[in-house]
């Protein structure tokens, strides 16, 4: 049985329980804010479901989306992107470290202890980023070698 009934522009399939003619209504369900939710009711057996569930009940299960197979080259390029981000991070941390050193040279308004603490934390941030970059380069080379 086919029907021309629609709800919110989506054509309705026959009743999943009895095959009867469906119609759209807003009588049975509400959203969290209590505004009426579109739903579907069967003219024959009065079964009703949320609009989103009605068509789902009678449709075959959707076919799993098959992603195109990714090549080793794709993986290498993807990892090159991570490596570039990591390099950007190192550059930013390096710049921050340079600025922290400069602040001591210039003898800013902050106490010297605080300036030295800033240098320490900038240096350890830089070291962390360098360690990450090193592992990114290592991972990239592995993938790059596989793609050849
Ligand atoms: Zn029905």
Q: What percent of the chain has pLDDT over 70?
A: 88
**Predicted confidence (pLDDT) per residue in 69-81, tens digit:** 888 899 899 999 9
Ion ligand 1 nearby residues (CB, 5 A) = 15, 17-18, 20, 42, 44-45, 47
Q: What is the pTM of this model?
A: 0.50
Q: How far apart are CA 77 and CA 141, in angstroms?
A: 11
Confidence of residue 1 (pLDDT cuts 50, 70, 90): very low
CB 44 within 8 Å of CB 15: yes
pLDDT, tens only, 11-65:
788 888 888 899 888 888 888 898 888 888 999 998 888 888 887 765 555 566 7
The DSSP code for 108 is -
Distance 15 CA to ligand 1 centre (A): 5
How far is ligand 1, taken at its centre, from the CA of residue 16, in Å? 7
**From the CA of 67, how far away is ligand 1's center (Å)?**
38
Q: Please tell me which residue, 6 or 95, carries the higher pLDDT value.
A: 95
Instruction: List pLDDT tens digits, range 56-111.
Output: 765 555 566 777 788 889 989 999 999 999 999 999 999 999 999 998 888 766 67
Give the H or E element holding residue 40: strand 36-42
pLDDT of 70 reads: 84
Instruction: Tell me the C-alpha distance between 2 and 77, whole Å.
Output: 49
Residue 44: its pLDDT value, please? Answer: 92
41: CA distance to ligand 1 center in Å? 8
Q: Domain coordinates of the chain in residue numbers?
A: 6-58, 72-146
What sign does the dihedral 50-51-52-56 (CA atoms) show? positive
């Amino acid at each position: 049985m086919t029907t021309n009934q629609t709800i919110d522009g989506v054509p309705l399939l026959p009743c999943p329980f009895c095959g009867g003619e469906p119609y759209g209504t807003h009588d049975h369900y509400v959203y969290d804010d209590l505004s009426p939710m579109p739903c579907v009711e069967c003219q024959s057996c009065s079964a009703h479901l949320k609009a989103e569930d009605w068509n789902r009940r009678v449709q075959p299960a959707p076919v799993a989306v098959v992603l195109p197979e990714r090549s080793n080259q794709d993986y290498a390029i993807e990892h090159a992107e991570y490596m570039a981000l990591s390099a950007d991070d190192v550059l930013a941390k390096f710049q921050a470290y340079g600025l922290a050193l400069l602040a001591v040279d210039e003898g800013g308004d902050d106490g010297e202890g605080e300036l030295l603490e800033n240098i320490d934390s900038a240096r350890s941030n830089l070291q962390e980023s360098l360690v990450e970059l090193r592992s990114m380069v290592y991972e990239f080379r592995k993938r790059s070698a596989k793609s050849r």
